[in-house]
Chains A and B, each alone.
Chain A
C-alpha cells in the first residue's frame, strides 16, 4: 500500500480541523445540546432578543474557537518560518525576543491603561521594537550571521524579561498583578470578536507573507553561497521571514498572552508527516497547529471550574510529544 500523498494528508487534516471546531463549540460547562448549538446560530442571526444559549454559542464559544485556531495556526507557521530562516530546528520566534517584547508591551499596557485595544497595540509595538533592536544590534556589529541574530535575540529577550519582572514588581498585587500573571501564562478566556479584529490585519499580513515565501524558505536551508547562486539574497529573505513571523507572533501574543511549545513542536510534527517541503509543511502547520491549540483550549476551559493557563497545558503535552519525535527520529535533524 502506498503512503498517502501530502496533498491528501493536507485535505484530511483540514477536514479534521473543521470537525474539531464543530465539536469544540458543542463542548462547554453550560450544558447545551448539539441541536441547540447549531440552531442558536440560525436564531441569533434572525434577530430578536438574544437568549443565554445564543449568547454562549455565538459570543463566547465561537470567538474563542476562532482565536484558538488563529493562535495555533499562527504560532506553528511562524515557528516553521523561523526554523527555516535560521536553518535551525530549535529556532522559534521566542529565541529572537519577539515574545518577550510583546509580553512586556502587554504587561505595561495592562499596568498603564484600562483598555484592551491599547494593551494589544502596546504588545504589537514592543514585539516589533524587539525585532528592530535585534536588527540594530546586528547592523552595528556589521554581521548578520545566524549566530549574531540569535545572540542579539537572546540579549533583547533577556532585557525584556527583566522589564516584565519590573512591571510585575510595581503592579498592584490585589488587581493588576494577578491579571498580568494570568496573561503571561496564556489564556483565551477573554476572546471576543473585537479583539480578533484588532489582531487580524497583522496576523493575515504575516501569514500571507510567509505563505508567499514558501519557495524561498525552502532554499534557505542551503548555504548562503548556494542561495546566492540561485539568484536570491539570503539576508533579505531571512529578514523578511523573521519580520513576517514577528507580525504573526506579536498579533497572537497581543490577544492570547504567552503560549509556548506550539511554534517549536508543530512544525516538527508536520515535517514528520510530509517531509521538509514548505509547500506542504506550511498548510499542514495551519491545520495541525489549529487542532492542537483547539484541543488544549477546550481542556483549559472545561476540565475544571477554574480556567487552566494554556502554557502549562501546551508544555505538559508538547514536551513529551517533542521528546517522542526526537526519539523516533533516532538521530540528527533535517
Chain B
C-alpha cells in the first residue's frame, strides 16, 4: 500500500515538473519582438547548441575563467545561479569582487568544479549550462537531462602558437558569449583593446636584439618539495616572447618539475610567479623556501622577482586583464624601452573603460603588486 502511494506521488511530481518545464517553454515561445525565441550555433566543443532567446539562469560547471568573463560580458553576475567554487573564489578575490559585490551571493554548488552532478544542475533550473569543453562527460550529462550545454575550451589544442596566446582563448570565449546572449558590443571593445596592446608592444620590441632581451623564467609554483616551472608549449612561451624576453626554461616542455641546480644554470634576469602557488618574491629574496639559496640568481640580485597581477582570474592563464598584464610584463622586461608607459594610468583607464569603475590608488598598487591566489 505504502509503495503505491510513493509511486503515485512520484508520478504526480513528475507530471508537475514536466508541465512546469513545458509552461516555461510555452512562455518563451511567445517571446518579445527584440529577443529571438532561440539562438543556434556551433560551440567551442564543436556541438550544435540551441539556447533560449531569453536567458535568466546560468550554471557554470568546472570552467572557472568563464565566471569572470561572463560577469564582464553581462556587466554583472546576477544571472549566475550556480558556479564551481574555485571560479568564484578567483573572481571575488580581486578588484572584480569590489566592482560586483553580487558575486558574494552566488551559490557554489560544485566545491571543486570537477564534481558536476546532474540533479544538482537540474535543481538550479538553469536556462543554459556552461561547461569545460574537454570534459565530455559533463556534456553527456547535461544534454541527457535536456539542458543546453555550451562548451568553453581550456586546452591549448595542438600547442600551435595560436593556442599558446592567451588572447586567442579570451577572444573565443567572448565571441561565444555573443552567440549565447546576442551582441552587446562588450566583446569587440575588449578584443580590439587587446589587439591594440599586442600590436603596440610587438612593434616596440621588434627592433630589440635577442642579446638585449632579458632571460625570463616563469615559476608556476614553488614549495620546499617542488619547483614547477612553465617552459615551452605553454602560455609562458607566449607571455615571454610577446613581452620582449627570452625564455630561460625553453628546454622544458609545458609545466614540469626542475631542480634548483637547473635554475642556477639558467640564471634568469627576471622571474615571474604565475600566481598559482603560495610563494612570493620575498621568499626568494630571503631564501625562505626549502633552504635554497637564490642570492646568486640575477633576478634576485636585481630585485626583479614579480608575481602576475590578477584582478579577475589568475592572469597567467587567459583572463580579462591580459592586456594590462602584457604591458606590465613588457615594462618589467625592458624598462628603458617602455619608460614612457605609465602602468598606473593604463590600469586606471582600463577599469574605467570596461567596468566604469574608478580604481583607487590603493587598487592600482594592489593590482600591480601581484599576489598568489590559492583556492581550496
Chain A interfacial positions (CB closer than 8 Å to B): 28-30, 50-52, 55-56, 59-61, 110-111, 114, 116, 119, 169-176, 178-179, 182-183, 187, 189-190, 192-195, 257, 301, 305-307, 309
Q: Which of A52, A55, A59, A183 contacts B226 (CB 8 A)?
A: A183
CB distance from B139 to the nearest CB of A (A): 20
In the complex, chain A residues whose CB is within 8 Å of the CB of B30: none
Neighbour of B376 across the interface among A172, A187, A194, CB < 8 A: A172
Given A170-B112, A305-B256, A306-B256, A178 and B226 touching (CB < 8 A)?
A: yes
Hey, which chain A residues are within 8 Å of B360, CB to CB? Answer: none
Q: Is B252 an interface residue (CB 8 A)?
A: yes
Give the B interface residue count (CB, 8 A).
Answer: 41
Alpha-carbon distance between A297 and B221 when the two chains are bound, in angstroms: 22
| Subset of 21 A-B contacts with CB under 8 Å | A55-B293, A60-B261, A60-B264, A61-B261, A172-B86, A172-B375, A172-B376, A173-B112, A174-B276, A175-B277, A175-B372, A178-B221, A178-B226, A178-B255, A179-B221, A182-B226, A187-B257, A190-B224, A195-B291, A301-B261, A307-B257
With an 8 A cutoff between CB atoms, is B111 at the interface?
Answer: yes
Interface of B is mostly: loop
Cα of A79 to Cα of B278 in the assembled complex, Å? 37
CA distance A6 to B306 in the complex (A): 58
What is the distance, in angstroms, from A101's C-beta to the closest C-beta of chain B? Answer: 18
Determine whether B182 belongs to the interface, using a CB cutoff of 8 Å to chain A. Answer: no
- Starting from the known contacts A178-B220, A178-B226, A301-B259, 16 additional A-B residue pairs (CB-CB under 8 Å) come to A28-B261, A29-B259, A29-B261, A30-B262, A50-B295, A60-B259, A110-B225, A170-B112, A172-B375, A173-B114, A183-B225, A189-B227, A193-B291, A301-B261, A305-B258, A309-B257
- Of B227, B257, B314, the contact of A174 (CB 8 Å cutoff): B314
Q: Are A175 and B252 in contact (CB under 8 A)?
A: no
**Docked complex Cα distance between A51 and B264 (Å):** 11
A59: contacting residue among B224, B225, B253, B291, CB under 8 A:
B291
Residues in B neighbouring A182, C-beta threshold 8 A: 225-226, 228, 257
Let me know if B374 is at the binding interface, CB within 8 A: yes
Asked whether B251 is an interface residue with its Cβ less than 8 Å from the other chain, the reply is yes
* Interfacial chain B residues near A307, Cβ < 8 Å: 256-259
Say whether B264 contacts A52, CB under 8 Å.
Answer: yes
Bitwise, B57-88 to A at CB < 8 A (1) or not (0) is 00000000000000000000000000000100
Quote the shortest CB–CB distance from B155 to chain A (angstroms).
Answer: 14
A305-B262 Cα distance, complex, nearest whole Å: 8
Given A172-B376, A175-B374, A306-B256, the answer on whether A30 and B223 have CB atoms closer than 8 Å is: no
Could you tell me if A189 and B226 are in contact, using CB atoms closer than 8 angstroms?
yes
| Bound complex: CA A170 to CA B262 (Å) | 31
Contact A29 B262 (CB under 8 A): yes
Residues in chain A near residue B253, CB distance under 8 A = 306
Of listed A110, A174, A190, A309, residue having the most chain B CB within 10 A: A174
B226 close to A187 (CB less than 8 A): yes
CB distance from B84 to the nearest CB of A (A): 11
Please tell me if B260 contacts chain A, counting CB pairs below 8 Å: yes
- Least distance between B17 CB and chain A CB atoms (Å): 32
B window 238-282: CB within 8 A of A? 249, 251-253, 255-262, 264-265, 276-278
Complex Cα–Cα for A176 and B375 (A): 9
Residues of B within 8 Å of A175, CB to CB, are 221, 276-278, 372, 374
Q: Min CB distance, B100 to chain A, in Å? A: 23
What is the bound-complex CA distance between A189 and B114, given in angstroms?
Answer: 30
**Residues in chain A near residue B291, CB distance under 8 A:** 59, 192-195
Partner of A116, one of B249, B258, B290: B290
B376 touches A189 (CB 8 A): no
Nearest CB of chain A from residue B103's CB, rounded to whole Å: 19
B294 to nearest A CB, angstroms?
9
Contacts of B277 in A (CB 8 A): 175, 179
Give the complex CA separation of A59 and B260 in angstroms.
10
Contacts of B302 in A (CB 8 A): none
Contacting residues, chain A, for B376 (C-beta < 8 A) = 111, 170-172
* Binary interface encoding of chain B residues 336-361 relative to chain A, with 1 for a CB under 8 A from any of its CBs, else 0: 00000000000000000000000000
Instruction: Assess the B265–A114 pair: CB atoms within 8 A.
Output: no
CB of B296 within 8 Å of the partner chain: yes
What's the Cα separation between A55 and B226 when bound, in Å? 19
